[in-house]
Structure 1
C-alpha cells in the first residue's frame, strides 16, 4: 500500500528529525529530513555539522507544514544576516528556541548554490503549499544525490522566474537512514510537565534507550522484550506525568500500563546516565515486570527492571545504582491510570 503525506506530516517529520539529535548525534546542530517514505519504514535524515551554520530563531515564522515557505518568502531570495555575518539560506526546525520559532542558518561555503530556471528540473513554478514543496524537494533530492551531494533543497521564493538551489556538501552534512520506530515516539509520547527542559531530558533518555535497542546491546532483554519496546516506540502513546507523593522515590509505573510518573524535584538532579537508567527501569514495569519493594531483598538485583540499568552506556558498577529508585504499585487494578 502506497503511503501518502497528509496534513501535519511535514511539520511532525521536521520536529522529529530535530529532536532525534539529542542523545544520538552530539556533533550535529540540526537535521534536515528527506521527505520521502521508504518501503523499509525508515527515513533519511541529513545531519548538519557545526561548521555548516548555526541555530537562530524568528518571532514571525509559522510552525506548520508550510513553515519553510513562510521563511523563504520573508527573505525573498536575499542573504540572511545574523549579527554581522551573512548566511545564504535557512530552514525551520519546527521547534521553539528561546520561546520563538527556531531555524538553522547555513554558511555560503557549506552548500553549492545554483540559480536555475523554475522548470529546469521539472519543478513546479509556484510553491505556495506544502504539497508543492514535497514535489519540489523530492526532485531536488534526487538531483543532489545523483551529483554526489548529501542532499539539498531549494528556495521556495520565485524571483524573475528563477530559484536558488542549495546542495549540501558532504564535508558539512552527513546523511543517515533512521528507522521510523526511533523517530515516532518523539512526537507520539505525551508529557504533562510545565518545564520544557525536563520534557527534553526524558526524550533524550528515550533516544539513548532506542540506540541500545538498535544495537541489540542489552543482553538482559529477551527478543520479545525488544520487539515490544520497538512497537511501543513506533506506534504507542506513553504518558509521562509528575508525582511527588513519595518524596524518596524518583519515579514509578504501574506494571503493564503505558505511563511513567516522575518526581520532578528529585530526579532532575540526576546525571544523564542515572536519568536514563531510571527511565529504562520504569519501561520494564510498563512491559509488566516487577521487583520486591525492599531493595535489600536478595532477589532485588536479579530482577529485569534493575538489571537493564546496567545496559546504559556509562554504567560501571553497582555503586551507580540509585537506592529507592521507584515505589512499587501493587495490583491488581481495574484500569490503568492516565
Structure 2
C-alpha cells in the first residue's frame, strides 16, 4: 500500500532521521563558529569550543625582578608571587620555555648553573642562584583560567580603519554584479528556449560545458584582456568578470525554467500580434520571477563572499578593499592565526546575505526545480 497516492510511506521515519542528521551536520560547525567569536585567542588555542563553559588550563610567563634579589649565606634569593592580585592556583611550573610545565606545584625544580626554583600552588615562589642575578629570570607556570566571553572580537572588526568603506565597496561590487548577469541571461535564456534559429543546440551545449570550467583558468587571461582595453583592476572590470563567471549558471537555470512555461500562453500572444520582445517582457519575464530570484540569491552570496576575484580585479590599495579582502589582509594578516577575529568576521560578513536569503528564499525551491516537471 506504500505506492498508493495519499498513503504514508513506512520509511518516513528514515527520511525524518536523515533530515535531522543533515541539519545537525550543518548546524554544529555554525554553533562552534559563533561560540569561538566570543572567546579570546588564548582560550581558543587552549581548548575546543565545546569546552568553552569550563575552565581552561593555560601557560603563562612572568619575570622575577633581579632588583629584588637578596644575598643569604652566599646564595642570591628572589621571592615573590606570580599572581598580580595574589589570587590563583598554580598547577605546574618550569624555568625554561622549552619545558614550561616540568614540575608540579610545591616541588623544587633544579635549573641550569645550579639555580633552583620552587613555586607553591598559591603562587609564592623562591628563586635561588649561587651567582649574582643580573637579569630578570623567567618563570613559566600553568593555571586554570575561568571561561571568558566578550564582544572584543566584534569591536575590533567594527572599529578598524576603513571598515565602513569596505562595506560600501562590497555593496558597490555585489549589486551590479548581481543585476547585470540577470539582465543578460534573461534575454539569452528566452532566445534559447523559445526562438528557433540555427546553432541553438550548439549554444545550449556550450553553456552546459562552461558550467564545469573552473574560473581560476580564466583569471589571468581575463585580467590581461582588461588591461589591454583599459579597465584592468577597476570596479567595471570586476563587474564584467563576475558577469562572465555567472552567466553560464544563470542562462542554464533561466532557460530550463522558461522551457517549462505553458506553450499555449506564448503562442496565443504571438497569434494576437505580440512581438518576441513583448512576449518576453510582459509574459515570460513576470512568470520567471522565481528562477530570477533563485539565481539572484546564488549570485549575491557568491559575489559578497568572494575573495579571489576581488584580489585579482580590484586595486590593491585600502580604498578599494571589499570586506573579505579587508578582513584577510588587514585584520588577520598573512598567517590568519587569530581564530576569534576570523569567527567574528564571518558572522559580521554574513549578516547582509542572510537578510537577502530569508527575504527571497520562498522562490529558491521553485527556481531550482525549474524544468524538472512538465
TM value normalised by structure 1: 0.22
User: Which has the larger share of helix?
Assistant: 2
TM value normalised by structure 2: 0.21
User: Which has the larger share of strand?
Assistant: 1
Q: Which has the higher contact order (CA 8 A, sep 6+)?
A: 2
